[in-house]
Amino acid sequence: MSRQELDVIDKGILVALQGDLDITPEPYALIAENLEISEAEVIRRIKRMQATGVIRRLGAMIRHIEAGIGFNGMVVWKVEPGRVEEVGQMLASFPEVSHCYERPPFGKLGGTLFTMVHASSENECLNIVRRMAEACGTGEYEILFSRRELKKISMTYFVEPDDANG
């Protein structure tokens, strides 16, 4: 689906999805009510936009500090090019990892895999990273610890459903 194929209803759904959803067993019901369509139609359109790549994924964003998971470390892993896929999948499988990306070489080691590790303390974070290193057989990594959160929001792609330039 190209951008030109998004109608006002699709854009309305995207506007709603880029914000906070109600904590309810039927989170799409209010979207449907506001757009004056059925909840089934909202779900059908979301599935279509996922299938066509307009929506890559839907996910919840936890306010981790309020949940007691206030310590984060971005780990930069140096991994041989031929093992990036294998090691990346292994690292991404850890429940404490929220993000796992391959990027151009960075830092003193020239690491190319990046993982964001969440823990309740620095010591716990260090232990998790050690377990990860053992599991994937690489000991070359750097940890960039978060000092404070300056911004954490979902991306805004459309301001209004009929915003043709949004």
**What residue numbers bound the domain in which 135 lies?**
71-145
Whole-model pTM over 0.85: no
Per the structure, the count of domains in the chain is 2
* % of the chain with per-residue pLDDT over 90: 61
Kindly state the tokens that stand for 1.
């689906």
Per-residue pLDDT, 3: 52
Quick check: is 14 in a domain?
yes
CATH of the domain at 134: 3.30.70.920
* DSSP class per residue in 14-78: HHHHTSPPPSSS-TTHHHHHHHTS-HHHHHHHHHHHHHTTSS--------TTTTT--EEEEEEE-
- The residue among 26 and 22 whose pLDDT is bigger is 26
Do 83 and 45 lie in a common domain?
no
Quick check: is 25 in a domain?
yes
Do 79 and 133 lie in a common domain?
yes
Do 41 and 95 lie in a common domain?
no
Does residue 2 register a pLDDT over 60? no
